[in-house]
Chains A and B, each alone.
Chain A
Amino acid sequence: MTNLEKYDQLFIKDLRVKKEDLEDLKYRGISTWDSMGHMDLVTDLEEVFDIHFNTADVMNFSSYEKGKEVMKKYGVMI
Chain B
Amino acid sequence: MPRSGGAVIPMKDEVVILAGVRQPEKEPWEPFAAPVLDFLEQLSREIRRERRKYEQLAAFGFWCRRSHMEEFRKRYEDGRSRLGRGVVFHITASNVPVLFGYSLVMGLLAGNSCSVRISSKSREQDQILCRIMDRILTRPEYKGIRRRISVFSCQRYSLAVREALSDCAGCVVWGGDRTIMEIRCMRIRPDAVQLNFPDRYSICILDTLQLGNITEEELKNLAHRFYNDTYLLDQNACSSPAIVIWNQEEESKEAENARVRWWNAVDEEARSYDLTAHKAMAKYELLCRYAMTLDVETKISCYGNRLYTMELGDIPSDIDQLRGAFGMFFEYRGDWRKALTHLASGRLQTITYHGIEEQKIVDFVIKNHLFGVHRIVPAGRAAVMDPVWDGHDFIAVLSRQIGREAQDAFV
Contact = CB atoms under 8 A, between A and B. Distances in A.
Contact of A55 (B44, B58, B61, B381): B381
Determine the main DSSP class of B at the interface with A: helix
B303 to A, nearest CB: 20
Contacts of B380: 59
A35 B48 CA distance: 13
A24 B224 CA distance: 20
B67 A52 contact: yes
A40 interface: yes
B22 interface: no
A59 B224 CA distance: 11
B224 A52 contact: no
Contact of A46 (B48, B58, B59, B65): B65
Nearest to A52: B67
A28 B378 CA distance: 20
Interface string B63-97: 00111101100000000000000000000000000
A39 B59 contact: yes
A52 B70 CA distance: 9
Contacts, number: 44
B160 to A, nearest CB: 35
A55 B380 CA distance: 11
A50 to B, nearest CB: 8
Interface centre among B44, B65, B384 (most CB of A within 10 A): B65
A27 B119 CA distance: 37
A36 B67 contact: no
A39 B140 CA distance: 29
A62 interface: yes
B400 interface: no
B65 A43 contact: yes
A4 interface: no
A40 B48 contact: yes
A56 interface: yes
> In the complex, which range does the number of interface residues on chain B fall in?
20 to 34
A42 interface: yes
A36 B58 contact: yes
B23 interface: no
Given A51-B67, A55-B384, A56-B378, A27 B221 contact: yes
Contacts of B66: 47
A42 B67 CA distance: 11
Nearest to A40: B48
B62 interface: yes
Contacts of B228: 35
Nearest to B224: A28
Contacts of B59: 35, 39
B225 A43 contact: no
B71 A52 contact: yes
Nearest to B225: A59
B210 to A, nearest CB: 17
A62 B221 contact: yes
A39 B58 contact: yes
Contacts of A46: 65, 67
B52 A36 contact: yes
Given A28-B224, A54-B71, 15 more contacts: A28-B220, A35-B59, A35-B228, A36-B51, A36-B58, A39-B48, A39-B61, A39-B62, A43-B48, A52-B70, A52-B71, A56-B378, A59-B225, A59-B380, A62-B217
Closest 6 CB pairs of A and B: A52-B67, A39-B62, A46-B67, A52-B71, A43-B65, A36-B58
